[in-house]
Amino acid sequence: MDNATLPGFNFTLSIQSMSTERSRSKRLRWLLFAGVVASFFWRGHLGCMLGYPECNPLYSVPAMPDWEVPSNRVEKAGYDAAMALQLPEGVLEPVPFDFRGARIKAIESNFSAFEIHQSVAEQYFDHLCATEAGAQIFDRATGVDGFRLLRTPYDLIDKPVDRDRYSYDAAFRIRGGGSSEIENWHGGWPEYLVQPVNGQYLFLEQPETDQINTVIRFARGLNSNPPSGYQNGLSSNRKVDGIWRHFELPLMVVPERSVSPKAQYGITWRGIRRERDREFAIAGGELIVIEIATSRVLAVNREFVLSGRDHQRSRIWWTNAKSCGPNRKRETLAYLPLLAERVLVPRPGVNAPFLDLPASSSRSH
């Protein structure tokens, strides 16, 4: 009799077949479980491989367009001069950033209840702030009556460049504001730097963009024809002998055009490039204090900002950008008047006549 026709033999084959299927099913379940566990622990690497150029050569890093160069010849001269400045030895050098590791960390933290999520942009921004940002002062000048802004400052808040990811070199300066246009400088640098009792200088100069070899000088003096917003003077508060006092003064800044600059020192600014910075909504730049005649650099403050998010297509809003903030290793002097007063030390006593005003002109707080 053939074995295939034996009932017992058929039953044995059936048992063996069922056992084999159960074993195969068990192995598949274990393989699936192992795959899930491996995917969880290697989620960052897998996610990076599936969609990002840091891990997959099939994806390319987007090219960054060049900045727009100013078309006005005076502004272009200021831009070119700023870009050509050579910083002294000892200035902090860029430190390479691990984009691949940052991408993996960002993906992993998305699925973790125990890690604070940080995007690649946030990690890169923190890296730049920690390794490069801050002020480096190489020399100081004392008894300075005034200085020149070597590039014309504009109030660019809510202008097109405020939401342009690539075009403007000094995107890090937009939030600083500080317009000094001769027709519209309310709340600008002349008020902060020259107007008593908080202004510490007797004059501030800047290029006249419509006339070559001409400067606009904002000099301290009684303005007999104050512009709109200044007819009633200005209010200011200052601590005198440990007591806060309130001052009401007329406008003490007079703008004038001159072909004979007075300033020996100047402050300029320029954007700086870092690998893939604008791709990750980061803008970097430097405020630089120089001796005008020699272009000798007295100080540099390097700064980075991380753009705020916006509903516009660019997703960029430089006005709402996050700055590096305090640095425990290096002092940050990103605010232009603060950097100026630290490096271009004003002449003592320029505000003494106003601080000694009688009680009828000022009142204690």
Query: Is 179 within 8 Å of 151 (Cβ atoms)?
Result: no
The radius of gyration computed from the CA coordinates of the chain, to the nearest angstrom, equals 32
Question: How far, in Å, CA of 295 to CA of 284, rounded?
Answer: 22
Residue 7 has pLDDT above 80, yes or no: no
Question: How far, in Å, CA of 164 to CA of 314, rounded?
Answer: 7
Average pLDDT for 342-360: 83
**Nearest-CA neighbor of 206 among 140, 258, 159, 169?**
258
The reported pLDDT for the residue numbered 63 is 87
- Does 197 sit behind a cis peptide bond, omega within 30 degrees of 0 on the bond before it? yes
Question: How far, in Å, CA of 219 to CA of 200, rounded?
Answer: 12
Average pLDDT for 222-241: 85
Indicate the range of 34-38, 213-217, 278-282, 292-296 predicted with least confidence. 34-38
**Crossing angle of helices 120-131/99-110, nearest 10°?**
130
Band (pLDDT 50/70/90 cuts) for residue 35 is: very low
The reported pLDDT for the residue numbered 362 is 43
Average pLDDT for 98-113: 80
Residue 314 has pLDDT above 80, yes or no: no
The reported pLDDT for the residue numbered 158 is 80
Query: Is 238 within 8 Å of 198 (Cβ atoms)?
Result: yes
Indicate the range of 129-133, 226-230, 266-270 predicted with least confidence. 226-230
Indicate the range of 123-132, 214-223, 226-235, 249-258 predicted with least confidence. 226-235
Indicate the range of 33-42, 73-82, 220-229, 336-345 predicted with least confidence. 33-42
Diameter of the chain measured on Cα atoms: 131
Average pLDDT for 337-341: 92
Residue 275 has pLDDT above 50, yes or no: yes
Query: Is 74 within 8 Å of 209 (Cβ atoms)?
Result: yes
Per-range mean pLDDT, top range of 53-67, 108-122, 164-178, 316-330: 53-67
Question: How far, in Å, CA of 297 to CA of 106, rounded?
Answer: 39
Band (pLDDT 50/70/90 cuts) for residue 249 is: very high
Mean residue pLDDT of the chain comes to 82
Residue 189 has pLDDT above 90, yes or no: no
Alpha-carbon separation of residue 259 from 208, 221, 295 (angstroms): 10, 19, 20
Q: Is the model more confident about 329 or about 353?
A: 353
pTM: 0.82
What percent of the chain shows pLDDT beyond 70?
Answer: 76
Band (pLDDT 50/70/90 cuts) for residue 17 is: low
Question: How far, in Å, CA of 117 to CA of 112, rounded?
Answer: 8
